[in-house]
Amino acid sequence: MKNEEGGGILEGIFNFFLPQHCLVCGSYLSRSRGFPLCSACFSRIEYLRSPLCVKCGRPLPGSSALLCHHCRAFSFHFDSARAVALYTSPFRECIHAFKYQGFTSFRSLFGELLCEYLEKNPFLREVDFLLPVPLHPARFIERGFNQSLILAEEIKKCFSLPLVSKEVRRVKPTLPQVGLRFRERRKNMRGAFEIKENNLFQNKRVLIVDDVLTSRSTVDSLSQTLKKGGAKEVLVLALASGK
Task: Name the residues that contact Zn ion, by CB under 5 A.
Answer: 22, 24-25, 38, 41, 53, 55-56, 58, 68, 70-71
Q: How far apart (Å, rounded) are the C-alpha atoms in residues 93 and 107?
A: 14
Min CB(64)–Zn ion separation in Å: 15
CA angle 43, 10, 240 (to 5 degrees): 35
174-178, long-range: CB within 8 Å, 24+ apart, which pairs? 174/136, 177/214, 177/215, 177/217, 177/218
Beta bridge partners of 52: 59
Nearer to Zn ion, 82 or 170 (CB): 82
Min CB(143)–Zn ion separation in Å: 26
Min CB(159)–Zn ion separation in Å: 26
Min CB(243)–Zn ion separation in Å: 12
Q: How far apart (Å, rounded) are the C-alpha atoms in residues 234 and 72?
A: 19
Three-class HEC string of 198-224 = CCCCCCCEEEEEEEEECCCHHHHHHHH
Nearer to Zn ion, 60 or 161 (CB): 60
Min CB(232)–Zn ion separation in Å: 21
Nearer to Zn ion, 58 or 204 (CB): 58
Are 188 and 174 spatial neighbours (Cβ–Cβ below 8 Å)?
A: yes
Nearer to Zn ion, 37 or 135 (CB): 37
Min CB(11)–Zn ion separation in Å: 16
Can you give the C-alpha Rg of the chain in angstroms?
Answer: 18
Nearer to Zn ion, 195 or 222 (CB): 222
Nearer to Zn ion, 27 or 199 (CB): 27
